[in-house]
Amino acid sequence: MTIKEVPMHNQNDLINIEIENGATDERLSNLLAALHVNTWQTDSLHAIISKVQLHQLIELATEHHFPAVLVNDLTAIYRRHQIMLRGAHFELDLTIDPAVMAILNTSPDSFFDGDATLNDQKILQKVESFMANNTKIIDLGGQSTRPGYQEITPEVEIERTVPYIQMIKREFPDAIISVDSYKPKVIEAVLDAGADIINDVNGFEDNPAKLDLVAKYHPALIAMYNNRISKWGPTELAAFFADRKKTFEARGIHADNWVIDPGVGFLAQDSTVTDIDLIKTIRQLSEMNIPTLIAISRKSMFKKLFGIDAAKNVWSTLVAELMMVHMGGQIIRVHDYAETNLMLQMRKQLEFPRATN
């Protein structure tokens, strides 16, 4: 019995496999049926299988002592579709379980949760709650980038970030810390303090000095498309991120070292494209097999497009985030981390029940 993958356009989460002589193996057919895999027969057994189903199939085939060659072939196909994020000191497997990225703003003028009374105790209490709710990444920001924001100096931003990075790393050494900044001086300071990821709203497009720092410290990156400053138009996102990939690869930054962010909420005021159009690009962008960020938490677009005040409810954000997970997003940047974690748990239990036979 041999297994091969059949190329499939616009596959997103689905994989097309052909199993020669598989139609005669009743045990294999029963496993695929138990996992609700869509199959059909010609001279071979064909299956359209999701990454979650494939992962479960490998586990069950191993448990039931299927031939090693079958398990190895299935595993090789799965690994080709793995989505990993790696930095100098961490590794996340995002293939079947999206990661929650909790927002920790230390700027008093952030659009949703700015807090002028933050102190060390409040920060540690928040981080403790993040970790208890299965948060994988903490995104620390000292500079608001809300529409109409006032830029602060690098020195002020460093004061709002570096001491907290050091404190969090001291108290929670396993915490993965992302810092939301676009200024080279701040990026160098936070990397020196122990930050693991740099989240740049300018997509590392505006200043090559930032990539020099990446080469020195080897963090993971989040590259956001920012229509407010980019030379690329909002209908050119695939080309923009292909350009980012080429630039990053020339610097030794590979597909598992960076994250795509389509920049929802960062359209120029005169743009004829909407945030919904940007959200819909997730499906196409996910075909690059690079982690993709969902960053729509509590944003004003819900008010503009649907008349929903997202600042007063969480359900609108959760519904949109779930849809974007279905489109191929792997990291969800959120204010409501506990609710998002619960949503992901429910999705996994309801959509992908474990086969019992």
Domain assignments of the chain as residue spans, ordered by start: 2-80, 84-351
Q: Tell me the average pLDDT of the chain.
A: 90
Is residue 357 predicted with pLDDT exceeding 50?
no
Instruction: Give the pLDDT of residue 111.
Output: 46
CATH placement of domain 84-351? 3.20.20.20
Among the listed ranges 38-47, 99-108, 116-125, 348-357, which one has the minimum average pLDDT value? 348-357
Tokens coding 62: 């191993």
Instruction: Give the pLDDT of residue 7.
Output: 87
Helix (H) or strand (E) holding 278: helix 275-280
Q: To which residue do tokens 């080897």 refer?
A: 218
Tokens coding 32: 């695929």
Residue of 195 and 313 predicted with greater confidence = 195
Instruction: Give the pLDDT of residue 86.
Output: 98
Q: Please tell me the number of Cα atoms within 13 Å of 96 on its side-chain side.
A: 14
Is residue 194 predicted with pLDDT exceeding 50?
yes
At 293-335, the pLDDT tens digits run: 999 998 888 888 888 887 777 898 999 999 999 999 999 999 9
At 126-185, the pLDDT tens digits run: 999 999 999 999 999 998 776 666 789 999 999 999 999 999 999 999 999 999 999 999
As a whole number of Å, the CA-based R_g of the chain is 22
What pTM value is reported for the model?
0.91
Residue of 270 and 264 predicted with greater confidence = 264
- Closest of 29, 294, 309 to residue 139, by C-alpha: 294
Instruction: Give the pLDDT of residue 150.
Output: 77
Please compute the mean of the pLDDT values over residues 274-283 and round it to a whole number.
92
Is residue 253 predicted with pLDDT exceeding 60?
yes
- In whole angstroms, what is the distance from residue 138 CA to residue 197 CA? 10
At 13-56, the pLDDT tens digits run: 889 999 887 656 788 888 999 999 999 988 889 999 999 999 99
- In whole angstroms, what is the distance from residue 92 CA to residue 331 CA? 10
Q: To which residue do tokens 């102190």 refer?
A: 119
Instruction: Give the pLDDT of residue 355.
Output: 53
2-6 and 14-20: which strand pairing? antiparallel
Largest CA distance in the chain: 69
| Per-residue burial over 152-169, b = 16 or more CB atoms within 10 Å of its CB, e = otherwise | bebeebbebbbebbeebb
**Residue 351 forms beta bridges with which residues?**
none
- Closest of 321, 323, 339, 342 to residue 331, by C-alpha: 321
- DSSP character string of 47-70: EEEEHHHHHHHHHHHHHTT--HHH
Please list, in sequence order, all residues whose beta carbon lies within 8 angstroms of the beta carbon of residue 75, skipping any fewer than 6 positions away.
Answer: 58
Is residue 343 predicted with pLDDT exceeding 60?
yes
